Amino acid sequence: MDEMAELDRLWADTPEATARDLAAARVALLARAAAPPGRAPRTKSRRYAFRTAAVGLLATALTAAIIGGQVILGGPAATPANAQALLELAARAAADQRDLVPGPGQYVHTKRRIQDPRYTRAPSGGPVLGYLVTAVEERWEPADPGKPWLLRERAESVTGSPVPRWLWDRGDEDTLYESSCPGQRAYVRLGAWPADVEAVRAKLAAQAGRDPVRMWAELKQLVAESVVRPSLSAALFQVASELEGIRLIGDAVDAAGRPGVAVAMDEGDGRRSELIFDRRTYRYLGERTVNTRDIQVRMPEGVYIFRKGAVTGTAVLTVDLVTALPEVSPKASRLRIPC
pLDDT tens string 195-205: 899 999 999 99
pLDDT of the residue at 17: 44
Q: What is residue 141's three-state secondary structure? A: strand
pLDDT digits (tens, 9 = 90+) for 77-108: 567 999 999 999 999 999 999 998 888 889 99
pLDDT of the residue at 38: 40
Whole-angstrom CA distances from 4 to 47, 55, 66, 246 are 21, 14, 19, 41
pLDDT of 8 strictly over 70: no
Phi, psi of 179 (to 5 degrees): -165, 145
Local confidence band at 124 (pLDDT 50, 70, 90 cut-offs): low
Q: What is residue 274's three-state secondary structure? A: strand
pLDDT, average across residues 120-126: 68
What is the rounded average pLDDT for all residues in the chain? 78
pLDDT digits (tens, 9 = 90+) for 144-157: 777 889 999 999 99
Report the distance separating Cα 108 and Cα 258, nearest Å: 24
pLDDT of 76 strictly over 80: no
pLDDT of the residue at 78: 67
pLDDT of 111 strictly over 80: yes
pLDDT of the residue at 317: 97
pLDDT of 34 strictly over 80: no
pLDDT of the residue at 162: 81
Contact yes or no for 146/180 (Cβ under 8 A):
yes
pLDDT digits (tens, 9 = 90+) for 228-253: 999 999 999 999 999 999 999 999 99
pLDDT of 23 strictly over 60: no
Local confidence band at 123 (pLDDT 50, 70, 90 cut-offs): low
pLDDT digits (tens, 9 = 90+) for 46-67: 333 333 343 343 334 333 333 3
pLDDT, average across residues 215-227: 93
Local confidence band at 161 (pLDDT 50, 70, 90 cut-offs): confident
Cα distance from N-terminal residue to C-terminal residue, the chain: 74
Contact yes or no for 285/258 (Cβ under 8 A):
yes
pLDDT digits (tens, 9 = 90+) for 284-315: 999 999 999 998 888 776 777 888 899 999 99
Report the distance separating Cα 335 and Cα 39, nearest Å: 72
pLDDT of the residue at 181: 63
Q: Which of 112-121, 149-158, 183-192 has the lowest mean pLDDT?
A: 183-192
Q: Among residues 220, 262, 267, which one has the least CA distance to residue 240?
A: 220
284-291 and 311-322 strand pairing: antiparallel
- pTM for the model stands at 0.74
pLDDT of 9 strictly over 50: no
pLDDT of 6 strictly over 80: no
172-178 and 333-336 strand pairing: parallel
Q: What is residue 169's three-state secondary structure? A: coil
Within 13 Å, how many C-alpha atoms sit on residue 218's CB side? 21
